[in-house]
Structure 1
Amino acid sequence: QCFEAVLSRRADEPFDDDREHLLAAELHFTLQSLYVQALSSLRTQVVGCGRSPPHKEKSPAAAASPECTPGETAARVAAIKEMQRSHAATCVARLELTSPPPRVLSVAAAYALSEKEAVALTLLVLQRSHRTALFSGCLGSDSFEADQALLPALLCDASSLELAAFYDEERPHIKEGIIHVDEDYSSRQTASLSFEACDAIVNGLRAEARPDSYRRPYLVPGSSGVEGEAAAARTRAEAKRVKLDRLRLKLSGTKLLMALDSLEGAP
């Protein structure tokens, strides 16, 4: 249902806000994940896997079988690829009309990220902030769960060399702690975005536009009615301000903070 709102938009309409842009990006990665998995299924059917022989086309007597034939799987692969192409073209056209640019792209520009690195940054943002169960299910499937290090390569169309450059410890986004890189005993690297960076990119740095504290709102003891609601609103606003101040402190001195302040017109 979330994706329906994105799919209903035309190429001549700019993105309404960062939230809509991230949802469109979430659809992009979901389609890419489905494409990779469908292509893997087709390969297994055509060439076999391990001791399993290649799939044979159904005989007329077995036409009611729920298992897809290679031809049916190939048709699904082609359909998903066409959806990818159409969605990508629409997003490119809409981005050209969107001003100011989405926060995640402004941050990517501030760190001089390449186009593929900007896509990888967007993926890292969505791994912490996605909104659909389909996205979560696709990235948690057997195709990816066994080796999370494969995700950027498969979903961002990035080579090992390009990812190594993105994870280089001398890059500003690594030095500043915006992106954390872990390396296992076999030298495979996995990256994650800091919670503070994700919060700033997703919610911005304007107090009035940020969500309320996750704590339940409460009334000031001894107050009730309109007066009590007003006091509770002031309490929520103060909690939001304190949380934002802490976030800015943790991000102080980073290119991310400067980029978002510049984007949102902060002093």
Structure 2
Amino acid sequence: MARTRLYRDGDLEAEDFPVADISDHLADPTAVVWLDMAAPTEDDFATIGEELGLHRLAVEDALHAQQRPKVDRYDTHGFLNAYAVHLDTPSGELQTIEVSAFITEQTLVTVRKSDDFDIDAVVQRWDDAEDLAGSGVGYLVHGLLDYVVDSHFDAVQQRRSLRLRKSLVTLRRVDYQDVYDHVLRASEWTESLRDLVATIRDTQLNIQGNRLNTIMKQVTSWAAIIAVPTAITGFYGQNIPYPGLQQPWGFWTSTIAILALSGGLYTVFKRRGWL
């Protein structure tokens, strides 16, 4: 079912009139007409396409889903394709909802590929800013794009830093570049979240590295302490005469040296926080 609106001199004059009446309204240069079509067929486009001089390639893009976000300029009209997004909170999945629009000096024709696109929300934005209706078709296009970009921003605000990383990349890919102020904010949120995920991972790796360094310091410190008695007893175990050989004072000298050097190393390592 098609929906229609007629604005004249910035005032909403009629709604839901027959599509066949559009040509009569457009005869008045002060009139602006909006036509909305949900999942139209080629037959639906036959009359309106000829009347508005819609280009065949643009009509094909409007009829087929999964077109890239774009703005094309033809001789008699412009063609716009964009994506609104919706975040499914329980699953964390990001859904994209495609919408196309034909733009002439007096008309805006919106083409929704499915009823998932909330056209009522767009109409509400127009009604909330009815003081701007005197701007003509630009007023209608701005309301449409403002809704599309705000859906991106709302989805980013419901972020989950790790589970939504894939969805945020999808959001960035379908992001539309008009209504620049809102798009820029959505892009900055997306980039900051990706940086946050990378920072969390780097922090985890740094913590693991610090723990490993602490363990290595402790192992090295104890190895140095154990090496002292090994070195001294090994030295005195050589088959050559040495001071204190077979004398009590030689035994006590080596024992005191072991204890003093080991205790000294322990104190040094303890003060440095290695033990």
Q: Which TM-score band (shorter chain)?
A: under 0.3
Instruction: State which structure, 1 or 2, has the greater radius of gyration over its C-alpha atoms.
Output: 2
TM-score scaled by length of structure 1: 0.22
TM-score scaled by length of structure 2: 0.21
Structure number with higher strand proportion: 2
